[in-house]
A and B are shown apart, each in its own frame.
Chain A
Amino acid sequence: MTAATLISALYVFALAAFLGYQVISRVPPLLHTPLMSATNAISGISLVGSIVTAGAHYNTISTILGFTAVFCSTTNVVGGFVITDRMLRMFKRKPAAKEEKK
């Protein structure tokens, strides 16, 4: 990694941090559990790194480590998204008839 790539990586990091702060502080406490499982699924993007490690055949040990990492990340991605979907489907508005009373 050269100094230039480091700097641009730091830019990305800083901007993502700022954006993340803005976006995530607007998530209501109501949805904090889905938020956690969603960010979990999203950070399963480390799968991208694991895939290359598992497929590049650098050496046997790397392949084994890569394979295990692919397995772990995929579990997170699939499990995380499925469970977030499942949770979000449960959050329902009040039935329309009762709405008027409030």
Chain B
Amino acid sequence: MRTYFIELSYLLASILFILGLKGLSHPESAKRGMHLAEFGMLMAIIGTLMHYEIITFTWIITGLVLGSLVGLAMGLWVPMTAMPQRTALSHAFGAFAAALVGISEFYRHAGHLETITMAALGFEVMLGALTTTGSLLAFAKLQSLVRGTPFTYKGQNIFNMALLATTVGIFVYLIFVPGSMPLFFTMVGLAFIFGLLLVMPIGAADMPVVMSLLNSYAGLASAATGFVLSNNVLIIAGTLDGFSGFILSILMCRAMNRSMTNVLFGAFGSAAASSTQGEQTGTMREVSMEDIATQMAYAKQVVFVPGYGMATAQAQHAVRELADTLEKRGVTVKYGIHPVAGRMPGHMNVLLAEANVPYSSLYELEQINPEFPQTDVAVVIGANDVVNPDARDNPGSPIAGMPILEVDHAKSVVVLKRGQGKGFSGLENPLFFKPVTGMLYGDAKETLTRLIQAVQQA
């Protein structure tokens, strides 16, 4: 009877999770969808608490309470600009939990598991371990605790491959000859190390792909837990998470016109970039605040193109204020969002939504590109590679073929930039040298605030 109740609660949870994700296909239905998923989670937890194997509740309750407090604190107070870091951290937590459950299962059976269970458990622990450390390193890079630039050395890929091969080798051995504790823990240790090595060579600009990939691994680790414990809701939820991450990473790769292998093992922007540099002649034209303000004030349509620079400068609110000022004067304001702008999928959308920009003004790449010829002023805020015309015009460029926001088709382009330096990929951006482009140097937030005043006076 009790087992039925538990299984039914899991079934209900599975259905509600799927409905919850289905809700995310539109902003209007998303909130309700999430409430369904939350209810599903609650049911699954209540169901589990009735499990016949549970004899003491002390540690369960303590864990639940402490976890809820920390989760609530994070959920309520993490600023939207820090969303990539928080997500990386939660990938680490999720994967770590999966790894721990796997280790505990192995330990309590003293390693004597059936072949199939051992295979699933190996996957669970390996994926869990490497995702934990990989995500922690991604977190550190995003939080600027360590430098965001790729860290590479000679023979890196060979070394990594050798380490992975050793880990998998031990795993395969353990499947057929189970029972060796030292080998098992060596495997776990190596997987922890491999996670670090995997993320080390990846630069900050490639973070959207890595985040999605780690998301996928964390999910698959959960799904593998489901195989070990013969628990269907775990398999379903883990698979949904795993596939969501997988789809996102493919979308991100496509948005950069690069293959997954290239992102993971290419160490972008270190060596490749230098070949095409130094050909750029001409000067960047710095323009006056007043000129730009007049152009914008009398424009029909203005398109904002935000990048990670907007997030670092916390300029999203200033952007919206400028947009409001322009709209009051009858200017149509739109936002063009590149899929890989920012440090995680959808990063820019969330920041602008936080600043009260209605989502109907946020346009995707394919929707906004045909609009640029009719746009009077395109304002690039802290974005670089996603508007680099070289991707379209120069087949020799390392980012050749990457779909870009074609701001250079607009009648006039203004680039807000912190300084004269290059973007994260270290590439020269010909857009900055085009006659149509004007540069405004300085902190994006400050520049925007001054622009707002200038527009009001225009």
Contacts and interface: CB of A to CB of B under 8 A. Distances in A.
Interface of A: 1, 3, 5-6, 9, 12-13, 16-17, 19-21, 23-59, 61-63, 65-95, 98, 102
B13 interface: yes
Interface residues of B, number: 115
Given A34-B346, A40-B90, A76-B90, A46 B71 contact: no
Interface string B32-61: 001001100100110011010111110110
A70 B64 contact: yes
Interface string B58-80: 01101110111011101110101
B54 A9 contact: no
Contacts of A79: 70-72, 74-75, 86, 90
Nearest to B91: A40
A87 B93 CA distance: 21
Contacts of B56: 55, 57
B59 A63 contact: yes
B62 A43 contact: no
Contacts of B93: 72-73, 75-76
B292 to A, nearest CB: 25
Contacts of A77: 41, 67, 71
A71 to B, nearest CB: 4
Contact of B103 (A38, A65, A92): A65
B253 interface: no
B207 interface: no
26 contacts: A13-B235, A23-B21, A24-B21, A25-B247, A26-B22, A27-B24, A30-B346, A33-B344, A33-B347, A33-B350, A45-B237, A46-B94, A49-B225, A51-B48, A53-B101, A53-B105, A56-B55, A57-B55, A65-B100, A66-B59, A69-B96, A74-B67, A75-B74, A77-B41, A88-B30, A90-B80
A49 B71 contact: no
A83 B20 CA distance: 15
Interface of B: 10, 13, 17-18, 20-22, 24-28, 30-31, 34, 37-38, 41, 44-45, 48-49, 51, 53-57, 59-60, 62-64, 66-68, 70-72, 74-76, 78, 80, 83, 86-87, 90-91, 93-94, 96-98, 100-101, 103-105, 107-108, 114, 116-117, 120, 211-212, 215, 218-219, 221-223, 225-245, 247-248, 251, 327, 337, 339, 344-347, 349-350, 353-354, 356, 358-362, 364
B48 A48 contact: yes
A40 to B, nearest CB: 5
A46 B346 contact: no
A43 B239 CA distance: 9
B215 A39 contact: yes
B107 A61 contact: yes
Contact of A56 (B54, B78, B240, B251): B54
B44 A17 contact: no
B100 A20 contact: no
Contact of B104 (A3, A30, A66, A75): A66
Contact of B25 (A26, A41, A43): A26
B238 to A, nearest CB: 6
Contacts of A89: 31
A45 B219 CA distance: 10
A87 B101 contact: no
Given A12-B232, A33-B350, A43-B238, A76 B71 contact: yes
Given A36-B248, A82-B72, A91-B30, A12 B229 contact: no
A30 B54 contact: no
A57 B284 CA distance: 69
A56 B239 CA distance: 26
Contacts of B347: 33
A39 B100 CA distance: 20
Given A6-B116, A83-B74, A62 B108 contact: yes
Given A31-B24, A70-B63, A45 B44 contact: yes
A67 B181 CA distance: 22
B63 A54 contact: yes
A75 B67 contact: yes
B100 A43 contact: no
Given A78-B75, A86-B76, A61 B48 contact: no
B66 A71 contact: yes
Given A29-B337, A30-B359, A81-B34, A74 B64 contact: yes
A53 B222 CA distance: 15
**7 closest A-B pairs by CB:** A74-B67, A82-B75, A70-B63, A32-B346, A78-B71, A79-B71, A55-B54
Contact of A42 (B28, B241, B251): B241
B229 A51 contact: no
Contact of B234 (A27, A46, A65): A46
Contacts of A85: 31, 34
